[in-house]
Chain A
């Protein structure tokens, strides 16, 4: 299926191939602007974390040249290694997973107005922990971060990596609680839907469910036998229906599983032609999934059948998903996010740009 160019998608240069993009989770959304953080990959030396401010431009009579957004680069900071995952703990604290096997904690701080500073905000490194590949002599990338749900005070943090390990630690206790070799292949993604249950996906094509109380042995393993040789590249759990898991694969499939019954998938969509690098459930609309893929497109999947009333997605609609590309971004999309209050969709990829679009 060829996706149509979507004129509603706007693109902005960010100066580096974007491996991850996340909106700053807002306390509120009042002044018409939102913040987003991007992380880069494939820079020879200087991979960076950048904070961007996105404004909605108000224009009474939109024209064809009308650009509904304006972006401003607020501040950036060098990051050791490529950024493989980015996870917000609160509105000013976020974690990154680095290709050098480390988990870093950063804080976004407002600059002191007394000091003569060019920027309104600064990003500061607060904490760093080597979690992956340290025993093998060369660093192996940390690929995913998940945070213990329902524990805002001192949550446990779980990370997975190319070394096949799952590491659990708390930031305040400066050591790794558990570092378990849970897979012999590469773990590509992790999700932590309930305090007991951790889900990971691997390059060996497996979705593994673990009980947090015993990580030595997986509680269940799911394999899609029809596509056993595919690598699984991304995972997300439905926040409003925690047994529902969406998984993206190297061949462009998006598969939905029920974590209570992993014998066969609930639903499957051949959405993309290449690796699905990120899947996420729409936070406002239960039963909708957003994806971004190496084939350069983003998609919007309706789990309950045909798409209806998606006036904001002017795209080719077939069956139960719609797909959009942007002429401005012919290369792969590595990461996506959605701002539930501003109703804004963001994607970042190898064209060194972020893409923005309204999406209800």
Chain B
């Protein structure tokens, strides 16, 4: 049994001296490479996880070359970020993966360190990943080929064709995340995870991807973002409806808190609430004040009405009017008086008042923007954020908050790094968009497999995150195909990842093998396809027709020869043509492998014999001998096979089955076999004697094949006579 222990230095180490021969193919896990099949278990944090090492590349015949003592594998595990495990296998490099020749007993060690995801992808999350790929695939097209069903509105005139395409793409991503939220609404955990993704995505869209970033609408877009992603906590829609329907709204204790919150949020519902207050109250100084407030709210200058500096001037003017109104207020109801003054302070962007009425920095930031800096530009946001943050407790362990802050500060690399902890999907797709919009550019990170002697070039952030995401997908039992699609879009390392991983995909059926081979075909991974074909035929033990098909595709001549020899040996042992069914099931191209071609020819020869076409059968026999297509150890059989032909010529007395030339060729071969390769010949004849019956009109065969000699001599004399 195996042990999996935690060491003092924080490393997990697992060793075994046993090899487990049974491959558990019913659990098609991502397999790691090793030279023999083994399986080990890792007790993950949540539930039992298994990692299966599947005999991926070793061929049966090469196994004896591995002494038992060398099959021992030791492995080292080290936990990584994101619930991943790094695994080093102290094993020899699988033969098919070796790129160089080696000599003698020294086998190269497998130098790779593998990553394995401990958490599986939640089944519910798969539909987002699938949809995400559909959009991603379109995003990789040239801008003029990007076309979605729903055209996005907005200030698209500010964007060039490429930016407009990206705007559409980002909107499409938003809509698939929203749709996913709706789909998983009954599953709180997944819904929360999806909402997190959406919150970060939408902020990035406002800040970096849409037309808002280039227009004066950035401020209102940020307000829209907070209203969508952080709904008001203190009041529900029901509360607001209740207030609106109240017979005496001014007496409702919640009224002013609600109105203040709606104003902080720039929520237009505030108008409806105030309208109902005016409608249901009797004429009084309070009602009059509310009417005035309502009027001011509706005359607030809107940014799209004015151009440039004029807006600032108009806003200042309006705020002064509001202040004057507040100062002149003399109401008997103190509560109403104070509440209206507070509202005016919010409208005039009094920092302390605004912050007092916000429960989070996100709300405060956008409220301050909405009332104090509606025409905020990209460059101002950072400064505003730094002013807001000290007023609110920070949750340093909340990745969403950290990511939002990083993106608001335009620290894109940091933001992406944090997003990796939220969902690698988010990091990968943001990185792709950022690179396309040229927010990240320079190669910064080491990509590719971690290697012991790490000398790999650097890749872009986009590729780094796409590779991480794709690698996670490949380990999934269901999304592995999507993973390979992502690799295709990684210019630097995508191909090498595919090369490393595709041949290690576990497969337990013809159907899946076909799917894997198609990925090889699309990506021109010919060498890997060859390896997969070899593996596929290994698990098809005794399924010779399939093995021949796969080995033919793999161009594996030695294997085909071996299969052919097995069949021929079986004939030498039993005198039965057992392989007819196999050969009949395989359609061969015009130039099949030589050994398989011989099987076909030999089968055809027997067919001719059976249908009494003796002359063509004779020619076929001589052809097989002359062309040396038949393996030499099978020559004695062919010579014995000539007996029924020769006897036929004897009986009929007329038909020439073998002419002089052919006769002497067969005689020459006979001579060669019996004298020059005597040992091989005798071994064969010994086996033949067991099943060969002498009742075919000839004496039993002896160690010199005298019967064949005599028959050939008779045939020669008869041929000359004719």
Contacts and interface: CB of A to CB of B under 8 A. Distances in A.
A231 interface: yes
A202 B698 CA distance: 43
Contacts of B515: 294, 332, 350
B481 A206 contact: no
Q: Secondary structure at chain B's binding surface: helix, strand, loop or mixed?
A: helix
Nearest to B128: A13
Q: Secondary structure at chain A's binding surface: helix, strand, loop or mixed?
A: loop
A65 B150 CA distance: 7
A296 B441 CA distance: 33
B482 to A, nearest CB: 7
Contacts of B131: 328
Contacts of A185: 543, 545-546, 549, 585-586
B509 A204 contact: no
B518 A294 contact: yes
A73 B588 CA distance: 47
A11 to B, nearest CB: 8
A183 interface: yes
A330 B127 contact: no
Interface stretch (A40-48, A49-57, A119-127, A314-322): A40-48
Contacts of B477: 42-44
B130 A228 contact: no
Nearest to B137: A330
Given A44-B28, A206-B587, A184 B545 contact: yes
A203 interface: yes
Given A44-B28, A164-B585, A203-B546, A7 B149 contact: yes
B482 A64 contact: no
A94 B496 CA distance: 45
Interface string B457-483: 000000000000000000001100110
A300 B123 CA distance: 34
The number of chain B residues touching the other chain, given as a range, is 35 or more
Given A206-B585, A228-B588, A330-B133, A164 B123 contact: no
A229 B553 contact: yes
A249 to B, nearest CB: 11
B581 A184 contact: yes
Contacts of A204: 545, 549, 585-587
A199 interface: no
Contact of A223 (B521, B544, B552, B587): B587
A229 B590 CA distance: 10
B678 interface: no
A148 interface: no
B154 to A, nearest CB: 16
B373 to A, nearest CB: 35
Contacts of A13: 127, 130, 183
B581 A181 contact: yes
A149 interface: no
A255 interface: no
A209 interface: no
Given A13-B183, A162-B510, A294-B518, A184 B134 contact: no
Contacts of A84: 511
A43 B26 CA distance: 10
Contacts of A136: 542
A331 B511 contact: no
Interface in A227-266: 228-229, 231, 233, 250
Given A273-B522, A329-B134, A352-B127, 10 more contacts: A43-B477, A64-B149, A65-B150, A185-B545, A205-B586, A229-B587, A275-B514, A330-B133, A331-B485, A332-B515
27 contacts: A13-B183, A42-B477, A64-B149, A138-B25, A164-B585, A183-B545, A183-B581, A184-B545, A185-B586, A186-B546, A202-B585, A204-B585, A204-B587, A205-B586, A229-B549, A229-B587, A229-B589, A250-B514, A294-B518, A327-B134, A329-B134, A330-B485, A350-B481, A351-B130, A351-B134, A352-B126, A352-B478
